[in-house]
Amino acid sequence: MSRAQRMSRILEKGQLRLLRLKAIDPYLTLGTDRSVPALEAQIEKLNAKLNEYNTTIAALDTAKQEIDQMEREMGDLLDQLLQGVAVKYGNDSREYEMAGGTRKSDRVRKSAVSRTKNSARRFTLAAKN
C-alpha cells in the first residue's frame, strides 16, 4: 500500500491570493518582506519542497515494494532448501534439525484420548444446534 502524496491547502490559498494581488499591482509592496515578489518566492520554495517530499515518498514506496519482493523470494529459497535437506537426509534426521526443521519424531501430536474428547464435544455441540 503506497503512502498518500501530500497536498498543501496553504499553498493553494497562497497561489490564489497571489493571483488576486497581482490583479491589483504585480509589484505591490506593503512594508518590509510584505510584497507580491516575496509571496511569489515563498510559494516557489514551498512548492519545490513539497515536490521533493512527494518524490521521496514515491522512492520509499518503490524501495518497500522491492524489499517485500526480496523477502518473498528469500522465504521461498529457505523453504526449498529445507525441503531439499528433507529429501536428501529425511525429515527425521539430525541434518534436517540442524537446517532448522523439526524432526518428525519430535513433533508433539495430540493423544488419542484428547482427540476423542474433542470429537465428542463437537458432536454434542452439533446435536444441541
Q: Transcribe 18-58 into DSSP letters.
A: HHHHHHH-TT-B-STT-BHHHHHHHHHHHHHHHHHHHHHHH
Digit-coded pLDDT (tens) for 28-61: 988 888 999 999 999 999 999 999 999 999 999 9
Digit-coded pLDDT (tens) for 112-128: 666 677 777 777 777 77
User: Is residue 86 assigned to a domain?
Assistant: no
Count the domains in the chain.
Answer: 1
User: Is residue 80 assigned to a domain?
Assistant: no
For 20, the domain range is: 1-67
How many Å apart are CA 99 and CA 5, to the nearest integer?
44
User: Is residue 1 assigned to a domain?
Assistant: yes
Task: Kindly state the cell numbers that stand for 31.
Answer: 512594508
User: Is residue 49 assigned to a domain?
Assistant: yes
